[in-house]
Structure 1
Amino acid sequence: MIKLIASDMDGTLLNSEMQIPQENIEAIRYAQKNGVEFMVATGRNREEALTPLLEAGIECAMITLNGAHVFDKKGNSLFTTPLDKKEVFQIFDILDEEDVYYEISTQFGTYTTSKEARIEQFASHITDMMPHLTHKMAIAMTAARLEFFPVTLVNSLRELAADEGIQVLKIICFDKRGTKALGQAASKIQRFEDCVVTSSGHNNIEINHKHAQKGIAVAHVAKERGIELAEVMTIGDNLNDLSMIQVAGVSFAMGNALQELKEEAKYLTNENSDAGVGKAIIRAIDEKL
């Protein structure tokens, strides 16, 4: 019987409107009534993750930034796993050479040097996740809902990262050219001993410390709760979910998940547009998976 559920957000818990469907909300409450803890495990920072959860009336612990920053249900920081500062500046050099747009997430939030570039690049990311949208529609959607993706504008990411009080927890990169540009940068960055490169879409890569992975964070939280990994359920759709899909006793891949994730997961559920998370939760509890 499962005791802990960790769900990804984008492409998983959230639908195409970036909201949590009512069926998912009801299933989460059903789990909680049955003594099962629900938490999110996302590439977003806490501010970005909090908005749809508050809208749905869900209070839960959070694994954010792919496992680099973990919070309890009250929002208290439990632990962080930052990138090595020396490697951060080497990564900046590579990304600048490849002319790739990037942002950094720290313990205080996410930072960019250009909000206009962020809107343009994130719109391409949304178009990738929702192919029915035109790029113009995605631009309008991103600009209108920018509060869901809070970011602080700074003059220099290098100056910010050089501050001794700043921990660089994640570097996220977007590029409309997709793997043509990002693949070259990723292959160079993956050579660094302490880095791991994942992705949540065709036109982005996410760079974390090798110990800042969702699977490692889920295992840490479970151990703190006195829960065996066999009693943990995870749900995801993309490569940054792979580590937690592999570590859990019960794992679900979304109907819209990458084939690689479907092959690793023990079970499949419906797409995020059809409340796949809610259906997976009900199945897991009722069938005592």
Structure 2
Amino acid sequence: MSIKLIALDMDGTLLNSENQVSERNKEAIKKARAQGVEVVLSTGRHISTCKPIADELELSSYLITGNGSEIWTTDGQLVDRQTIGLQEIKELIALHKKHKTGMWITSTERIWRNEIPESLEGLLWLKFGFHFEDEVLRDEVWKELEHNYQLELSNSSPTNIEVNATGINKAAALEKICLRLGIALKDVMTAGDSLNDIKMIQAAGIGIAMENAQESVKAAADWVTGHHNDSGVATAIEKWVLQ
């Protein structure tokens, strides 16, 4: 198998606990790119906090942000955008208020954390997040969302639930990028640690889970690499990509 594209989650995967890319990860990515391998960042983050990492790594491919709600080129050109309807956003806010959860809400312009804009109209909404201190409440809200809404549910941590529009996920965005580049998914390696990574891990020819990944992510992966604080991304690239 010859890997032609690597798609990397950021938090808990590429980045360590200090939100930095280790020198070993940087070197492995640089060597992969020198072999002609495309490197794509695939994150739940907003473009504003993803692009600086892409710039630091001198990437020149695509960026998947907001769990697949947007696709960008590394030079800042929007390629694709999929939003959540205004009515769904209003209902998610009502659910947050009902259960008194933490929350954040992402528009194309910015992120609101534990605050709601005065007017929801006139904005394009990408993602809604619930934060929990209580696992029982988290599971209750998940079941309520699953039962009442046709939305894409995932998480980026065991303490949250992330909500995107139906069918919007990192795997769907990755497939669009592969079509643009003429690369088959069997020639892709992906790496991640959370529920928002599972579908892209399952879709790829080689799906990698981090040592620190949630157990369901490890179960979905082809291989488990090292911890994100121990340059696990570099370990995976060295094993599966570098020749």
Give the TM-score band, short-chain normalised: over 0.9
> Corresponding residue for 1:12?
13
> CA offset at residue 210 of structure 1?
2.1
Q: Which residue of 1 aligns with 2:143?
A: 187
**Paired residue for 2:67?**
66
Match of 1:203 in 2: 159
**Structure 1 residue 59 displacement after superposition:** 5.0
Q: Which amino acid in structure 2 is aligned with residue 174 of structure 1? A: H
What amino acid is aligned across from residue 209 of structure 1 in structure 2? A
Query: How many angstroms does 1:286 deviate by?
Result: 3.5
The yes-or-no answer on 1:48 pairing with 2:39 is: no
Q: Which one of the candidate residues 162, 165, 180 is aligned to 2:121?
A: 162
- Structure 2 Cα separation of the partners of residues 55 and 231 of structure 1: 25
Q: Distance in 2 between matches of 1:225 and 1:58?
A: 15
Aligned to 2:239: 283
Task: Decide whether aligned partners of structure 1 residues 179 and 59 sit closer, same or farther in structure 2, where only a CA change above 3 A counts.
Answer: farther
Match for residue 150 of structure 1? none
TM-score scaled by length of structure 2: 0.93
Tell me the amino acid that sits aligned with residue 212 of structure 2: N
**Closer/same/farther in 2, CA of residues 235 and 31 from structure 1, 3 Å limit:** same
What amino acid does structure 2 have at the position aligned with 1:112? R
Partner residue, 1:148 = none
Which consecutive unaligned segments of at least 5 residues does structure 1 have? 115-155
Cα distance change on mapping 1:113 and 1:261 into 2, 3 Å: closer
SS of alignment partner, residue 35 of structure 1: coil
Give 1:110's aligned amino acid: I
CA distance in 2, matches of 1:286, 1:13: 17
Please identify, of 17-26 and 100-109, the stretch whose mean Cα deviation from structure 2 is larger.
100-109
AA aligned opposite 2:33: Q
| 1:3–1:35 CA contact under 8 A, matched in 2 | yes
- For residues 13-67 of structure 1, give each alpha carbon's deviation from its aligned partner in whole angstroms, at most 9, with x where no partner exists: 0011110000110111111110100011111111122334444544542101111
Kept in 1: contact 2:10–2:43 (CA 8 A): yes
Mapped contact 1:62–1:72 kept (Cα < 8 A): yes
Change (3 A) 1:4 1:192: farther
Gapped regions of structure 2 (runs ≥ 5): none
Q: After the TM superposition, which residues 87-236 of structure 1 pair with which residues of structure 2 at under 5 Å, given as runs?
A: 87-112=88-113, 114=115, 156-157=116-117, 159-163=118-122, 166-175=123-132, 177-236=133-192
Alpha-carbon distance, 1:243 to partner? 0.7
- CA positional deviation for 1:235: 0.3
**Shift in Å at residue 221 of structure 1?**
0.7
Does the CA contact (< 8 Å) of 2:102 and 2:114 recur in 1? no
Q: For residues 59-88 of structure 1, what are the alpha-carbon distances to aligned partners after superposition, in whole Å with 9 as ceiling and x for unaligned?
A: 542101111111011111111111122121
Aligned length: 242
**TM-superposed deviation, 1:107:** 1.2
The residue type equivalent to 1:34 in the other structure is: Q
Structure-2 separation of matches of 1:234 and 1:257: 13
SS of the aligned residue for 1:16 comes to coil
CA RMSD of aligned residues (A): 1.7
Whole-Å separation in 1 of the counterparts to 2:148 and 2:202: 23
Q: 1:193 to 1:205 in 2, by over 3 A?
A: closer
